[in-house]
Amino acid sequence: MANVIEIRNLTKSYGKNRGVIDVSLDVKEGDIFGFIGPNGAGKSTTIRSMLGFLKFNTGSIKILGMDSVKDHEKILENVGYMPSEAWFYGSMKVTDVIKYAADVRGLDCTGEAEKICERLKVNRDKRIKELSLGNRKKVSIVCAMQHRPKLFIFDEPTSGLDPLVQRSFFELINEYVDAGATCLLSTHVLSEVNKYCRSAAIMREGRLTMLDTPNIDDDTFLSFYEDEEEA
C-alpha cells in the first residue's frame, strides 16, 4: 500500500513556544488512522501544517504523493477536512454553505450532499447562526465528504454529535474507506480508536510515537494523559 500521508522530521514552533518536534509519520492508503494525545500535544499543529494553515520551520510533508507547500491547491482538491470547531458564515443558510463549498471546488456535488444530509438528518433550510455546535458539525461533515475525497482529516469530529449521528458518521467513513479513501482521525475517545482505527499514534509534548496496535485498554490510554500531567 502506498503512503497517503508522509511526514518527515516536521518541526513547528510558535516563537519560543513548542509546537511539534521532529515528527515523522506515514499513513497508508485505505487506513483509518487514530491520532491521539492530550490537549496541546501537537495534534492540531500537525494537521494544520499538513493543510497549509501553518508555515512549518523544518521538515517535509507529502500528501497523496504531492508536496504540501508546492502542490497545496491540488492536495486540497482531494482532501476533506473537518475542524474541531465547525464555524461557517452565520448569515448563510446551510444549503448555501454546502453549495458554496462545492462551487469553490468547481464541482456539482448535489447528489452526494443530499445522500449525506439524509443520513445525518441535516436541516438545510436553517441559517448557520441558528444551529447548535452538533448541527454545525453535521454541516461540516457534509462539506468534508460531498466531493468524495481520497483523504479525510477529522479533528475531534464526534464531540457534540448525538450517538445515532456518531454511528451514521462512522458508517459513512467505513463506506468511503472501503471505496478506496483514507482517514486520519484525531480524537480523545478511546472507543473510537479501538472500534474503527486500523493503526494509531500518540502525540505527547510535541513528539509522536507510533502505537503497536490501536486496540489499547483504558489504563494504557489514560496513562498517556497522566504522564503529560505529571510532566
Partner 1 sequence: MRTIFTKEMKLNIKSLLIWSLAVGGLGLICVLMYRSMEGDVKEMADAFSNMGAFSDAFGMSTLSIATLKGFFATEVGTVHGLGSGMFAALIAIGILSKEEEGHTGEFLFSLPVSRTKVIAAKGLSVLIALIVFTVICGVLYLIGVKMLGETIPGDEFMRFMASQFLMNLEVASICFAISSLSGKNRIGLGIGTAMVLYFYDVVGRVVPDLKDYLFFGPYSYANASEIFSGAEADAKALAVGVIVIFAGIAGAFWQYNRRDLAG
Residues forming the site for partner 1 (CB under 8 A): 14, 44, 48, 51-55, 72-77, 79, 81, 83, 85-91, 100-101, 103-105, 140, 143
End-to-end CA distance of the chain: 37
Min CB(201)–partner 1 separation in Å = 21
Min CB(195)–partner 1 separation in Å = 26
Comparing CB distances to partner 1, the nearer of 77 and 228 is 77
Min CB(133)–partner 1 separation in Å = 12
Spatial separation of the C-alpha atoms in residues 69 and 157, rounded to whole Å? 26
Comparing CB distances to partner 1, the nearer of 53 and 210 is 53
Comparing CB distances to partner 1, the nearer of 105 and 115 is 105
CA distances from 217 to 138, 167, 195, 213, 230 (A): 29, 21, 12, 11, 20
Min CB(216)–partner 1 separation in Å = 28
- As given in the structure block, the three cell numbers for residue 199 are 493503526
Min CB(85)–partner 1 separation in Å = 6
Spatial separation of the C-alpha atoms in residues 76 and 80, rounded to whole Å? 8
Query: Is 9 within 8 Å of 58 (Cβ atoms)?
Result: yes
Spatial separation of the C-alpha atoms in residues 78 and 72, rounded to whole Å? 10
Looking at residue 164, its amino acid is: L
The alpha carbons of the chain give a radius of gyration, in whole angstroms, of 17
Comparing CB distances to partner 1, the nearer of 88 and 169 is 88
Comparing CB distances to partner 1, the nearer of 14 and 132 is 14
